[in-house]
Amino acid sequence: MTPPDVPPTARPPSLGELSPYLALMREHRGWLGVGALLALITLLAATGLLALSGWFLSATAVAGVSVAATQAFNFFTPAAGVRGLALARTAGRYGERVTTHEGTLRLLASLRRRLFDAIEPLSPAALQRAGQGELMTRLGADVDALDSLYVRVLIPSLVAVCAILAAGTLIGVFAPTLALITVLGLALTGGLVPWLAWHLGSRDAMRHQASASHLRARLLERLQGLGELVIYGRWQAELASLAEQQAERDRIERSQARRQALATWLSHTLLGLTLAGVALLGVMQMAPQTQTAVGDVTAHAGELLDGRLLALFLLAILGAFEALAPLPLAWQGLGRCLSAAARLNQVQADTPAPQFPEDSAAATPVGHELVVHDLNVAHGDTQVLEQLSLSLAPGEHLALLGPSGSGKSTLLEVLSRFHAPNSGSIHLGGVALESLDEATLRASFAVCPQDTHLFCASYADNLRLAAPEASDATLIHMLESLGLGEWLARQPQGLAGFPDEGGRSLSGGQLRRFGVARALLSPAPIVLLDEPCEGLDRESAERVISAILTACRGRSLIMITHQPLGLERFARLALLEEGRLKEDATPTTLQADSRLARLMARTTNQA
Ligand SMILES: Nc1ncnc2c1ncn2[C@@H]1O[C@H](COP(=O)(O)OP(=O)(O)OP(=O)(O)O)[C@@H](O)[C@H]1O
């Protein structure tokens, strides 16, 4: 599998992708605004320090030419200015770092929260479609990529504009022509070069983002399946393929670095030309002999230039250039920010699969009768359930059988609204399922899917997910009734113990029963269990069935199973074949009808 390349026709994301993040910045305008202000103060202090020091040195040299000039020269005021500016620069830089980083971290926290808010309503099916690794990348790397937007792009750009204006104004007070050259040279350096870096690098930025995200997602996925790769001797080939992808990413980074070097060369050349132009013109405008007292320099505006000012001009330009130097790299990174923003916007734009009505518009079911009518469900182009009709009276127990792939789990997914039907209706207590608000729907069904996920929390907390009020004694009793008593007794910390990630410290059968316990502890009136006895020996399976039927006394139950165990204890049996509900029988009709019995036997023998 090669990394996805960006199609040649793909357009780089536009600046408009950033608008949600710029809007988000308003929430943190205090920190971000103070950060920007301190960055400006630091810049002005740094430029002023350089310019004043340059002027001070040359003025001191000129003052030393004659005794009269030395006596008239005021050393103290400029020296105090230099000290003051140096202190302001240091304090400003410190404050700027603290506030801009604080602002950025707060901004990222809001961004992550917004993203979680967008992902949270997605149904598990929609999340699966998005891909775990891909989502992890978007939540991690893409959000991180946006951290440079404020600190590395917006603030330096603002500071650069102010630096150009400050240097232009300072020089313009004494020599307008030199100020014009300065502003032109600096504007080209700070505007044209970063713009070129952004435009020429945007395609590489997209490819880099796509390649990095693909590599991350693939690495995560392959690590999850490492066992299979080792067993089938494929991990060396996988490593080689991952290394190839990494090399591709390195190639893109090298190309970005070359472009960066070119931009640096170009901006330094423009700086050199600006300095040379100002120096040359300045020398041409200079008085033949500079003997003016310090306080008189402004008197020369529009006339011959005071030579001491030339050093001030050149150092002011150098000071301003310090603010422009990081721009090409920052704007080259803007492409990365835009790609990341576009990908995050896409996650947020994905409409959540199930839409629930507002609490006020939601209907309230009367009783818990479940009526499925003429249901058609497809996964993509594959029709899975066809014209399925089924009803379940409150308290009725139904065992749902059917060959693998016949659509049993899909039916449970549709009942839980993890997947939307193409047509047909489902009513609970006389109310269409889609008219129930989410809280009522979730409180109506207790579901144990085929895969049980244990969270990184104590066993007790994992069980209380379904029944927050349940006492320890209730939890222990439930685990014991499902045959997990011995397992619990072996846990050094009992219910307070923690499972390994995802529940890997439990065997497949134990994990399945843990999920069943969670569903049975829920007080929901309808229980949906997907193959609760899968992977269990006969004795354990019979025990689990007994526990399920006891816990579901008075509650409705749909239990998917491939095992012929305990079927006679169910009020009704249903058989799904190729998406159609072939039979809906009672154990009595099952015994009486040999054709149906054969069908059941064929289905259950597949297990
Ligand atoms: N997310 C999905 N995307 C595409 N097809 C799917 C998806 N989930 C299930 N299917 C397909 O739908 C069909 C029914 O799957 P389902 O899991 O409902 O069957 P099942 O009867 O529960 O099977 P089993 O007894 O093996 O668990 C299968 O052909 C399966 O490949």
Q: Does residue 176 line the site of ligand 1, with CB under 6 A?
A: no
Range with lowest mean pLDDT among 147-151, 253-257, 319-323, 513-517:
147-151
Q: What's the pLDDT at 583?
A: 66
Q: Which residues pair with 401 in a beta bridge?
A: 575
Most confident of 46-55, 222-231, 275-284, 339-348: 275-284
User: Cα(114)–Cα(109) distance, rounded to whole angstroms?
Assistant: 9
Percent of the chain exceeding pLDDT 90 equals 28
Strands in 351-461 per DSSP E: 370-379, 382-392, 397-401, 423-428, 431-432, 445-448
3-class DSSP state for residue 504?
Answer: coil
- The upper half-sphere exposure of residue 128, i.e. CA atoms within 13 Å in the direction of its Cβ, equals 6
Answer yes or no: are the C-beta atoms of 468 and 397 closer than 8 Å.
Answer: no
The answer to whether the 19-291+303-349 and 365-605 domains have the same CATH topology is no
List the single range of 242-251, 283-292, 316-325, 490-499 with lowest mean pLDDT.
283-292
Beta strand ranges found along 197-340 (DSSP E)? none
Task: Output the six-digit token pair for 507.
Answer: 């065997």
Instruction: Return the residue matching tokens 């182009």.
Output: 381
pLDDT-above-70 percentage for the chain: 85
Residue 134 has pLDDT above 70, yes or no: no
Nearest atom of ligand 1 to the alpha carbon of 407: 18
Quick check: 304 pLDDT over 70?
Answer: no
Question: pLDDT tens across 518-532, in order?
Answer: 999 999 999 999 999
Q: What would the CATH number be for the domain defined by 365-605? A: 3.40.50.300
Q: What does residue 566 show for φ and ψ, rounded to 5 degrees?
A: 65, 15
> What separation in Å is there between the alpha carbon of 399 and the centre of ligand 1?
18
Q: Of 243-257, 342-356, 472-486, 558-572, which range is least confident?
A: 342-356
CA dihedral angle for residue 361, residue 367, residue 373, residue 379, rounded to 10 degrees: 70
* pLDDT of 158 over the 80 cut: yes
Q: Is the CB of 112 under 6 A from ligand 1?
A: no
Q: Are 96 and 38 in contact (CB under 8 A)?
A: yes
pLDDT given for residue 524 in this prediction: 93
**Do the beta carbons of residue 525 and residue 555 sit within 8 Å?**
yes
Residue 177's CB: how many other CB atoms inside 10 A?
A: 14
Pocket test for ligand 1, best of 410, 447, 561 (most atoms within 8 A of CB): 410
Two tokens at 417? 């609204």
The structural domains of the chain, with segments of one domain joined by +, span: 19-291+303-349, 365-605
CA of 169 to the centre of ligand 1 (A): 72
Alpha helices (runs of H) in 225-234, residue ranges in sequence order: 226-231
pLDDT at residue number 299: 41
- Which residues, in sequence order, are CB contacts of 184 under 8 Å at separation 6+? 274
Q: Which amino acid is at 446?
A: A
| Mean pLDDT across 348-360 | 67
Of the segments 48-52, 334-338, 346-350, 448-452, which one has the largest average pLDDT value?
448-452
27-50: b or e for each residue (b if 16 or more CB lie within 10 Å)? ebeebbebbbebbbbbbbbbbbbb
Tell whether ligand 1 has an atom less than 6 A from the beta carbon of residue 409: yes
Ranking 172-186, 204-218, 352-366, 406-420 by mean pLDDT, the lowest is 352-366
Taking the centre of ligand 1 as the mean of its atom positions, its distance from the CA of residue 425, in whole angstroms, is 20
Q: What is the mean pLDDT of residues 531-555?
A: 91
Average pLDDT, the chain: 83
Would you give the DSSP letter of residue 243? H
Ligand 1 contact, 499 CB (< 6 A): no
Q: Which CATH superfamily is domain 19-291+303-349 in?
A: ABC transporter type 1, transmembrane domain (1.20.1560.10)
Q: Supply the pLDDT for residue 546.
A: 94
Instruction: Give the other-Cβ count within 10 Å of 239's Cβ.
Output: 12
